[in-house]
Structure 1
Amino acid sequence: MWRNYLTVGLRSLAKNKTYSAIIIGGLAIGMAACLMILMFVRYELSYDRWLPNSENLYQLQTWYPNPSNGDPGFVQMTPYISSKSLKKDFPQIEQEVYVLPSVPVATKDGVASSTEDYMYTDGDLLDVLEFPVVAGDPEALEHPGTIALSEGEAIRRFGSTDVIGKTLSLISKGITTDHRVGVIYKDLPKNSHMAMAAIVRVDMNSYMAQEPNFMTCWGCQNGHVYMKLKAGSDAKAIEAQLPAWEKRAIPDQNAGEARFNAGDEADWHLVNVADVHLGKAQLGAMRPGNDRQSIITFAVIAVLILGMAVVNFTNLATARASQRAREVALRKVLGAHRRQLIIQFVGESVIVAALAMVVALALVELLMPAFARFLDADIATSYLGEGGILPPVLLLVLVVGVVGGLYPAFFLSRFQPAMVLKANKSSAETPGSGRLRNLLVVAQFAVSIGLIICTAVVYAQTVYARTADPGYQRDGIIQVDNLSRYQLINKGEAVTERIKRVEGVTAVGRTGIGVATDNNNNTGIMVPGNPEPVVIGIYPIDEGFFQAMGVKLLAGRNFDPSRPADDATIPFPATPESQQALAARGTNVVMNELAIRRLGFKSPQEAVGKTLRAGLVDNEFGLVPVTIVGVVQDSRFRSVRDQVDPIMFLNTEIGHTFLMARYDGNPAEVRARIEAAWKTITSDVPFEAEFSDDIIQELYEAEDARAKTFAAFALLSVVVGCLGLFGLAAFTAERRTKEIGIRKVLGARTRDIVRLLVWQFSQPVIIANLVAWPVAWWLMRDWLNGFDTRISLNPMLFIGAGLLAMVIAAGTIVGHALKVARANPIHALRYE
Structure 2
Amino acid sequence: MFTSFVKIAWRNLTRHKAFSFINITGLALGITCSLLIMLWVQDEKNVDAFHANGSRIYQVYERNFYDGKVDAGYNTQGLLAEELKRVVPGIQYASGLESASPPGTGNTFDAGKEIGKAAGFFAGPDFFTMFSYHLLAGNKATALTEPASVAISKTMAEHYFGDAQQAIGNTIRFDNKEDLKVTAVFEDVPANSSVRFEFLRAWTDFVKQNEWVNNWGNTDPVTYVQLRKDAGAAAVETTIKDFIYRYTEKNSNWRVELALQPYTEKYLHATFQNGYIAGGRIAYVNVFTYVAIFILLIACINFMNLATARSVRRAKEVGLRKVVGANKSTLVLQFTGEALLLTAFAMLLALVSAALLLPAFNALTGKALALPVSEPLFWAAILVMLVVTGVVAGSYPALFLSSLKPVKVLKGSLKFSNGAVLFRKGLVVFQFTLSIMLIVGMMVIYRQMNYIQSKNIGYDRENLVYIPIEGDLIKNYSVFKQQVLQLPGVADVSKMRNSPTVIEHHTGSIDWQGKEPNVTISFADAVVGYNFTKTMKLQMAAGRDFSPVFGADSTSYILNETAVEKMGLQNPVGHKVSWGGRAGTVIGVLKDFHFSSMHQTIEPLIVRLDDNWPWGTILVRTKAGNIKETMAGLEKICKEVNPKFPFTYQFSDIAFAGLYNSEIMVSKLSDYFAILAVIISCLGLFGLATFTAAQRTREIGIRKVIGASVANIIALLSGSFLKLIVVAICIAFPLSWYVMNNWLQGFAYKISLDWQIFAGAAFATIAVALVTVSYQSIKAAVGNPVKSLKTE
When the two structures are superposed, what TM-score results if normalisation uses the length of structure 2? Answer: 0.91
Question: How far, CA to CA, are the matches of 1:830 and 1:542 in structure 2?
Answer: 90
1:530 CA displacement: 4.4
Specify the alignment match of 2:6 in structure 1: 6
Residue identity opposite 2:216 in structure 1: C
Of 640, 650, 659, the match for 1:690? 650
* Change beyond 3 A, Cα 1:199–1:682: same
Mean Cα deviation higher: 126-135 or 190-199? 126-135
Specify the alignment match of 1:366 in structure 2: 356
* Change beyond 3 A, Cα 1:540–1:184: same
**Matched position secondary structure for 1:441:** helix
Contact 1:191 1:377 in 2 (8 A): no
* Change beyond 3 A, Cα 1:170–1:22: same
1:748-767 equivalences under 5 Å are: 748-767=708-727
Mean Cα deviation higher: 29-38 or 89-98? 89-98
The superposition leaves residues 254-304 of structure 1 with CA deviations (integer Å, 9 ceiling, x where unpaired) of xxxxx4787x144332422x2222122599xxxxx9610001111111111
Specify the alignment match of 1:315 in structure 2: 305
Contact 1:323 1:427 in 2 (8 A): no
1:420 aligns with 2:412: no
Residue identity opposite 1:468 in structure 2: K
* Change beyond 3 A, Cα 1:200–1:343: same
Of 553, 563, 570, the match for 2:550? 563
1:562-601 equivalences under 5 Å are: 562-568=549-555, 588-601=556-569
Specify the alignment match of 1:571 in structure 2: none
1:615 CA displacement: 3.8
1:411 aligns with 2:400: yes
**Matched position secondary structure for 1:601:** coil
Question: How far, CA to CA, are the matches of 2:343 and 2:639 in structure 1?
Answer: 66
Residue identity opposite 1:56 in structure 2: R
1:167 aligns with 2:170: yes
1:510 CA displacement: 2.0
Contact 1:123 1:201 in 2 (8 A): yes
Specify the alignment match of 2:92 in structure 1: 94
Of 601, 607, 615, the match for 1:649? 607
* Change beyond 3 A, Cα 1:196–1:261: farther
Mean Cα deviation higher: 46-55 or 306-315? 46-55
Of 739, 743, 749, the match for 1:779? 739
Contact 2:503 2:526 in 1 (8 A): no
1:444 CA displacement: 1.0
* Change beyond 3 A, Cα 1:505–1:120: same
Specify the alignment match of 1:134 in structure 2: 136
Residue identity opposite 1:553 in structure 2: M
* Change beyond 3 A, Cα 1:700–1:27: same
Question: How far, CA to CA, are the matches of 2:662 and 2:791 in structure 1?
Answer: 64
Calculate percent identity across the aligned residue pairs.
Answer: 28
**Matched position secondary structure for 2:166:** coil
The superposition leaves residues 478-505 of structure 1 with CA deviations (integer Å, 9 ceiling, x where unpaired) of 222226x6x5555544543443333332
Residue identity opposite 1:796 in structure 2: Q
Mean Cα deviation higher: 412-421 or 761-770? 412-421
**Matched position secondary structure for 1:543:** coil
The superposition leaves residues 74-93 of structure 1 with CA deviations (integer Å, 9 ceiling, x where unpaired) of 32x42222222221233232
Question: How far, CA to CA, are the matches of 1:101 and 1:160 in structure 2?
Answer: 26
The superposition leaves residues 285-343 of structure 1 with CA deviations (integer Å, 9 ceiling, x where unpaired) of xxxx9610001111111111101011112223334433343344444444444344434
Residue identity opposite 1:163 in structure 2: Q
Of 519, 524, 527, the match for 2:509? 524
Residue identity opposite 1:822 in structure 2: V
Residue identity opposite 1:149 in structure 2: I
The superposition leaves residues 524-574 of structure 1 with CA deviations (integer Å, 9 ceiling, x where unpaired) of 334523422222111112331111111111112222334343213xxxxxx
Of 362, 365, 372, the match for 1:375? 365
**Matched position secondary structure for 1:228:** strand
Specify the alignment match of 1:661 in structure 2: 620
Specify the alignment match of 2:20 in structure 1: 20
**Matched position secondary structure for 2:505:** coil
Contact 1:322 1:429 in 2 (8 A): no
Specify the alignment match of 2:156 in structure 1: 153
**Matched position secondary structure for 1:115:** strand
Question: How far, CA to CA, are the matches of 2:549 and 2:114 in structure 1?
Answer: 37
Contact 1:26 1:720 in 2 (8 A): yes
**Matched position secondary structure for 1:58:** strand
Residue identity opposite 1:725 in structure 2: L
Contact 1:342 1:413 in 2 (8 A): yes
* Change beyond 3 A, Cα 1:519–1:495: farther
1:81-480 equivalences under 5 Å are: 81-103=79-101, 105-106=107-108, 108=110, 113=115, 115-141=117-143, 142-158=145-161, 160-161=163-164, 163-165=166-168, 167-171=170-174, 176-201=177-202, 203-204=204-205, 207-209=206-208, 211-221=210-220, 223-247=221-245, 249-252=246-249, 259=251, 264-272=255-263, 274-280=264-270, 291-385=281-375, 388-422=377-411, 425-427=412-414, 434-480=421-467
Of 719, 744, 748, the match for 1:788? 748
**Matched position secondary structure for 1:818:** helix
* Change beyond 3 A, Cα 1:44–1:607: same
Specify the alignment match of 1:576 in structure 2: none
1:448 CA displacement: 1.4
Question: How far, CA to CA, are the matches of 2:521 and 2:769 in structure 1?
Answer: 58
**Matched position secondary structure for 1:643:** coil
Contact 2:332 2:402 in 1 (8 A): yes
1:496 aligns with 2:481: yes
1:528-543 equivalences under 5 Å are: 528-543=515-530
Mean Cα deviation higher: 692-701 or 443-452? 692-701
**Matched position secondary structure for 1:591:** strand
Question: How far, CA to CA, are the matches of 1:140 and 1:624 in structure 2?
Answer: 42
Contact 1:349 1:402 in 2 (8 A): yes
Contact 1:608 1:631 in 2 (8 A): yes
Of 511, 522, 531, the match for 1:544? 531
The superposition leaves residues 26-49 of structure 1 with CA deviations (integer Å, 9 ceiling, x where unpaired) of 111111211111111111111122
Contact 2:66 2:521 in 1 (8 A): no
Residue identity opposite 2:213 in structure 1: F
Specify the alignment match of 2:575 in structure 1: 610
Question: How far, CA to CA, are the matches of 2:70 and 2:586 in structure 1?
Answer: 24
Residue identity opposite 2:259 in structure 1: W
Q: Which runs of 5+ in 1 are unaligned?
A: 254-258, 284-288, 569-587, 617-622
Question: How far, CA to CA, are the matches of 1:63 and 1:188 in structure 2?
Answer: 31
Question: How far, CA to CA, are the matches of 1:331 and 1:311 in structure 2?
Answer: 27
When the two structures are superposed, what TM-score results if normalisation uses the length of structure 1? Answer: 0.87
1:443 CA displacement: 1.3
Contact 1:118 1:198 in 2 (8 A): yes
1:788 CA displacement: 2.2
Specify the alignment match of 1:578 in structure 2: none
Question: How far, CA to CA, are the matches of 1:678 and 1:356 in structure 2?
Answer: 57
**Matched position secondary structure for 1:80:** coil
Specify the alignment match of 1:804 in structure 2: 764
1:469 CA displacement: 0.7
**Matched position secondary structure for 2:522:** strand
1:760 CA displacement: 1.8
Residue identity opposite 2:89 in structure 1: P
Specify the alignment match of 1:575 in structure 2: none
